[in-house]
Structure 1
Amino acid sequence: MGNAVSIFRSVIAPTGIAVGYGVTAALSLWLTRGPDGIVAMWPASGILLAGLAQLSGYRLLICLLLAAAASVAVNLQAGVPLPVSLGFTVANMVEAAVGAALLRRWRVARPRFGRARDVSRFCGAVLIAALAGTGAMTVAVGGGALAALNWFATVLLGMFIVAPLVLMSIRIADPGPRSIHDDTARLTVMTHLLMVAAVTLIVFVQQRFQIMFLPLVALLAATWRLGPLGAVAGVGIVAVIAPVMTVMGHGPLWMTRQSAVEQSFFLQFYLLTLFATALPFGALLAQQRRLAADRADSERMHRLLADSSTDVILRLSLDGVARYCSPAVTAVLGFTPEQTVGQTPILMVHPDDRALVDAAWQRAITSPAPETVTFRHLRADGSHAWLEVAYRRVATDMGEEVVARARDISNRRAAELAVQASERQMREANRLLGMAERAAQLGHWRIDLTTATLFWSPEVHRMHGLAVDATPDLAGAIDFYHPDDRARVAAIVAKAIEKGEPFDFEARIVRTDGEQRHVLSRGQPEIAYDGTTTAMFGIVQNISQRIEAEQALEAARAAAEAAAAHAMQLADTDALTGLASRRRSLAQLDEAVAAAARGGEPLALAIFDIDHFKSVNDRFGHPAGDAVLRRVARAASHAVRPTDLVGRLGGEEFVVVLPGANAATALTVAEALRRAIAASADGVEAGPPVTASIGIATLVPGGSAASLLGEADRALYEAKNAGRNAARLAA
């Protein structure tokens, strides 16, 4: 029973199309009966074309066979010989099959006549189909050029005028896709179409005035009001009334005393002109209205984004007066948007930064390129906030204006100042080291190799704790060196004396009172006229103070480096979550993009934020919100790979840099991250359970960190628009 019902349903559509084809063909032949009857339009071809475009497989074959049988029967009934009937039928089936195949191939089986691309593809398919049918008719039946031209024109008109009516009716009746005409009032549609019908009847019922332009005027009026529906339906109305009235002996064409063939060709040209005028006009008009609606939607979306952004968004006139200010100004500066609009923000810039901001403003209003400047701006409480502001001149409906994005970087600036202070401390420590080196004590010495005597200056004696007249020999001098250094020093001196070459070493000596000194000893040979080494001369420097200064400097350097490292950690670490800060995350992203470009490795980026986070703060309080942020940070850190970096961009928005990850890997990590966040609630202290929406983008050749962030951000909004708690990959 089920199979029988399925088979019955599968043949309903083909049978209905074939019946419609046969009835329309019979009616067309009946209207043009008689020896001089010429068919001006063959609407049956339009019905068959539209029907076949909706079918496939065996249903299409069934429809073709049934339509062919109907065609043969209708032609035989009209007195057409069997061979000619068969030839006409073959031509009709060829043109419909070719046209339907092209419509499906070009994906316009159900074209939207409000889109210029669909209209052009539909017209191309119909033109090719009509040429194919004309060729098939010429081969099967013959008849010469006039017959071929008449066939081409009648079939072309039938498909151009009737097929859009059928296809548009299918689209309107289909409960799936939404029609572009669903919101058109039925009364308005009927009124304008009746107007087209009335004007056409008035024109073609009389034979006194050549006013065939009036239907075009009515048709364009209907198209202007109804769009493509008015164009298609209006042309169809004219295409029905004009030929029928002409066949019945009425209308302006009878004023010209033309033959039936000439009247037919004139009507065909007239209807083609109406079609070629109205449908493209309707398509372009619909496209223009759609673009206007899209623009309005885009403006509403941009206003929504501006209102929800944590950055302050402003629209400024070219003389610097604020026309719009986003609500974020309250959190950043303490002013309300109403207090800001109508004011000149540059007047609230710190006096020391005003010249810098004014120069950036002048560049922004004279160039389309964006201009970024960092300065201090007055808060409502009298303090100053560090802002990073990007200006850009844009064209709007109100004329030229400047859009500004202001970001609070007070915390980042404080960290940068701390780093600068640490660097100054390090430079000061290096300066002290230089002073310590210049204050070192020096003595000189000389070994006479011919007499084996050693000379020390008084400073060298004091250095060793000896009286000035108690100069030891070379062996005794070496014995003053620390036992751990003695063998090395003896080897260096012996080699220098043997080879007559200079030396340089540092070592420790042990004074007569047991106190150790660090010394630097340098020596050079004295060469006689015959090239032999006669003596060694050099200096010895008490570098104990330098060593002590170096040790003190090393301690200072370590302290300075620790301070710098602490400051860098403050700059690179988000204080609340312990994740990488925005500054470190963006720097890491830049490095990852550069590394991927050098090595040809894949790179992915994920941006995620917590769904409905504002409601968490509103319902449970900001401490609970902070707990949720820390918990999400821990869950994200555990969910990603060891090579990935998780950072906090600000608020509830986070970023994950995924080196070496392609799209599939990034989706896998993102899905693990999403599940980990959703399952992370483990107690009251952790805050309420939350979910996250994730946008993923992969680096393309030539891409940048900014483009990667933009793509991931758009993917994030797609995930939110899809219902949140989802991960989406940028297209």
Structure 2
Amino acid sequence: MSREYRLPFLLALGAGYGLLAALAISLTRLSGGVALLWVANAPLLVALSMLRPVHWRGPVLAAAIGSMAASLIVSPLASVAFLFVVANMAEAVIAAALLRRWNVFDPPLASARSVALFVLAAGAIAPALSGIAAAAFTSMIVNHSFGGIWVDWVIGHGLGSLIATPIALLVLQPGRMVEKFASRVHILEAAGLMLLVAAVTFGTFSQNTLPLLFLISLPVLIATMRLHRLGAASSVAIVAVIGGYMTLRGAGPIMLVHVSEAAQLQFFQLFLAVQFLIALPVAAILSERASLFRALRESEARYRLLADNATDAMLTLDPDGTIRFASAATRELGFFEPRSLVGRSALSLIVEEDRERVREVHYAALARPDESFSVEYRVLKANGEISWFESNMRAVAEEDGVVTSAVSVIRAVGVRKAREAELYRQATTDPLTGLLNRGAIRRRIDQAAASDAPAALALFDLDHFKQVNDRHGHPTGDAVLLAFADLLHDSLRGDDAVGRIGGEEFAVVFNGMTVLQAQTACARLRAAVAAQPLAMGMDGPIFVTVSVGLVALEGNISEAYQAADRALYAAKAHGRNRVELAEAA
């Protein structure tokens, strides 16, 4: 608060406190003890909530001066006015300190929790503590018991604070209590609802023949439902002013309660407290709900903005996999219209071979909503192409743990998969011949040996290949190797594996074939190689022959490989250009 604003504010606060205190003393001190309805602390409580504690001295001093003036002017207990001032100021400070500690006024009374804490601090704890001192010195002056005075103080001050503080908030902090009106229609609606509350209250308190107090709750609730905290605070204020004035004049259904005038006023206070406890918590819950819906709309707007402008597609799925929402990026990634995807099963877009794997990951995400899961799969796009995609998915669960949906962020990974495939090809392929390299063919040998199906391993070695390189040069030698590799590849079945081990040595894995069947295939290959030139040299066509060592793939793999190698050397030793079957694996 600025220095220029402080003095007028303090003057207004002191004058307001003094006026409210004087009215309370003169109108509600009916039992000869303390005032039965004390609303003067409300503006001070709100003022303290607007300031940091280091700045509380000014408002407390201004209110204390106003309280002292009112006591000296209208109170019959002027001799102990200072003690009442101390008790009143202590009550306001205690309540403000508790409300500040519990963060009740940020924003003010905007949740059921803040309303409950406000009732506890301002309506119970603070008046109960200040009432001890007030009842102690009052009971020594007037002919009333300590307990009776303390109860009157707690009820009068507690209910007064509960009733008047929301009104003071409207006056001193209207921007934090009143939701902005969107149009003149809303202003007229608010005015009409307040007139309705005033009319029903006036009609109820204009007669004292029927107990119609319950009628007031209906317009108060209607105003609260429509205007939230403004409606609740304004309605209770209207009821307090009209009902209190009529009750003090001896009119209204309160007169049907045949008790003393002080008890009738306390009964009216109880009625106001009930209206307060009905209206303000409802208003707080509605304001909290409106804030949640506003935050939800803002979050949804941000989500849709991101979804519509992101290069990755976003899908929201029901637990059964039905698409509930599809972002605009699905049009670019898969040529699907987003609206056409809603209601379809997400699995229907995935190629059949990948569906089971995606289904398992989807169910795993539903089972563990606190974790994210990733899966790669192929999709048949709307244009007929099949492309690779990756989904990062996470389930959405309610507070009770029930999963209601799953969100999936999808990106195209076709380029990455092609790059991975190229890297894998480079890692497993012989760069000269395009066949499997040494490491890859050894893995295929291991796989064939581990299978229950019969398999055979053949090692091929071109005879006198060094002479080809020496006589015709390495380029021609490479041409011979390429031609031999093509002949091997074209002569074998799709289930067989062929690779270059190194130099002029090659290996073939015959899957699902006995060693005798493999021997026949090798003999056919050997004859084909010998019967045709594999390249053109300086002196004409170049013919080469090949020696083959063959073994059944069973038992120990290393021993089988060594047996095939021994058979190959045996073929070389027996004249080359022949197939030699290993004696034992």
TM band (smaller chain): 0.5 to 0.7
Distance 1:432 1:140, change over 3 A: closer
Aligned partners of 2:428 and 2:439 also within 8 Å:
no
Q: How does 1:238-257 map to 2 (within 5 A)?
A: 238-257=239-258
State whether structure 2 residue 123 is matched by structure 1 residue 122. Answer: no
CA distance in 1, matches of 2:426, 2:220: 80
Deviations 1:467-507 (A, max 9, x none): xxxxxxxxxxxxxxxxxxxxxxxxxxxxxxxxxxxxxxxxx
State whether structure 2 residue 404 is matched by structure 1 residue 405. Answer: no
Q: Partner of 1:187 in structure 2?
A: 188
State whether structure 2 residue 136 is matched by structure 1 residue 133. Answer: no
The CA deviation at 1:219 is 1.3
Taking structure 2 as the reference length, the TM-score comes to 0.65
Q: Partner of 1:429 in structure 2?
A: 438
State whether structure 2 residue 270 is matched by structure 1 residue 269. Answer: yes
Aligned partners of 1:131 and 1:152 also within 8 Å:
yes
Q: Partner of 2:284 in structure 1?
A: 283
CA distance in 2, matches of 1:287, 1:194: 26
Distance 1:8 1:80, change over 3 A: farther
Q: How does 1:107-506 map to 2 (within 5 A)?
A: 107-109=103-105, 111-126=107-122, 127-142=124-139, 143=144, 144-173=146-175, 179-183=178-182, 185-316=186-317, 322-337=323-338, 340=341, 346-350=347-351, 352-353=353-354, 356-357=357-358, 372-390=374-392, 403-425=407-429, 428-429=437-438
The CA deviation at 1:206 is 0.8
Aligned partners of 1:204 and 1:250 also within 8 Å:
yes
Q: Which secondary structure state, in structure 2, belongs to the residue aligned with residue 43 of structure 1? A: coil
Distance 1:339 1:70, change over 3 A: closer
Deviations 1:557-601 (A, max 9, x none): xxxxxxxxxxxxxxxxxxxxxxxxxxxxxxxxxxxxxxxxxxxxx
State whether structure 2 residue 84 is matched by structure 1 residue 88. Answer: yes
Q: Partner of 1:541 in structure 2?
A: none
Provide the alpha-carbon RMSD of the alignment. Answer: 3.9
Deviations 1:435-486 (A, max 9, x none): 99999xxxxxxxxxxxxxxxxxxxxxxxxxxxxxxxxxxxxxxxxxxxxxxx
The CA deviation at 1:291 is 1.9
Aligned partners of 1:111 and 1:122 also within 8 Å:
no
Distance 1:347 1:244, change over 3 A: closer
Q: Which secondary structure state, in structure 2, belongs to the residue aligned with residue 267 of structure 1? A: helix
Distance 1:367 1:432, change over 3 A: closer
Select the residue among 2, 6, 20 that pairs with 1:24.
Answer: 20
Deviations 1:586-639 (A, max 9, x none): xxxxxxxxxxxxxxxxxxxxxxxxxxxxxxxxxxxxxxxxxxxxxxxxxxxxxx
Deviations 1:234-280 (A, max 9, x none): 11222222222111111112223211232122122222222122111
Aligned partners of 2:25 and 2:75 also within 8 Å:
no
CA distance in 2, matches of 1:108, 1:35: 34
The CA deviation at 1:226 is 0.9
Q: Which secondary structure state, in structure 2, belongs to the residue aligned with residue 75 of structure 1? A: helix
The CA deviation at 1:287 is 1.3
The CA deviation at 1:346 is 4.3
Q: Unpaired runs of 5+ in structure 2?
A: 431-435, 446-456, 462-499, 505-585
CA distance in 1, matches of 2:34, 2:133: 20
Aligned partners of 1:206 and 1:250 also within 8 Å:
yes
Aligned partners of 1:15 and 1:63 also within 8 Å:
no
Distance 1:395 1:303, change over 3 A: farther
Deviations 1:363-404 (A, max 9, x none): 7789868664422223455432111235566589xx966544
The CA deviation at 1:410 is 1.0
CA distance in 2, matches of 1:250, 1:131: 32
Distance 1:393 1:436, change over 3 A: closer
Distance 1:432 1:22, change over 3 A: closer
CA distance in 1, matches of 2:58, 2:314: 63
Q: Partner of 1:482 in structure 2?
A: none
Deviations 1:408-454 (A, max 9, x none): 11122122222332343377425999999999xxxxxxxxxxxxxxx
CA distance in 1, matches of 2:33, 2:249: 11
Aligned partners of 2:26 and 2:75 also within 8 Å:
no
Distance 1:386 1:192, change over 3 A: same
The CA deviation at 1:18 is 0.6
Aligned partners of 1:110 and 1:167 also within 8 Å:
no
CA distance in 2, matches of 1:551, 1:404: 48
The CA deviation at 1:228 is 1.4
Distance 1:243 1:37, change over 3 A: farther
Q: Unpaired runs of 5+ in structure 1?
A: 1-5, 440-548, 554-731
Instruction: Flag the structure with more relative contact order, 1 or 2, with Cα contacts below 8 A and sequence separation at least 6.
Output: 2
Distance 1:389 1:249, change over 3 A: same
Q: Which secondary structure state, in structure 2, belongs to the residue aligned with residue 269 of structure 1? A: helix
Deviations 1:186-222 (A, max 9, x none): 2222211222222111112211001111112221121
Q: Aligned residue pairs: how many?
A: 435
Aligned partners of 2:29 and 2:36 also within 8 Å:
no
Aligned partners of 1:87 and 1:141 also within 8 Å:
no
Q: Which secondary structure state, in structure 2, belongs to the residue aligned with residue 295 of structure 1? A: helix
The CA deviation at 1:137 is 0.7
Distance 1:201 1:360, change over 3 A: same
CA distance in 1, matches of 2:38, 2:314: 61
The CA deviation at 1:146 is 1.1
CA distance in 2, matches of 1:364, 1:52: 51
Distance 1:208 1:374, change over 3 A: same
Aligned partners of 1:172 and 1:179 also within 8 Å:
yes
Report which stretch shifted further, 373-382 or 134-143: 373-382
Deviations 1:679-731 (A, max 9, x none): xxxxxxxxxxxxxxxxxxxxxxxxxxxxxxxxxxxxxxxxxxxxxxxxxxxxx
Taking structure 1 as the reference length, the TM-score comes to 0.53
Q: How does 1:657-668 map to 2 (within 5 A)?
A: none
Aligned partners of 1:18 and 1:70 also within 8 Å:
yes
Aligned partners of 2:379 and 2:386 also within 8 Å:
yes
Percent of pairs identical after alignment? 32
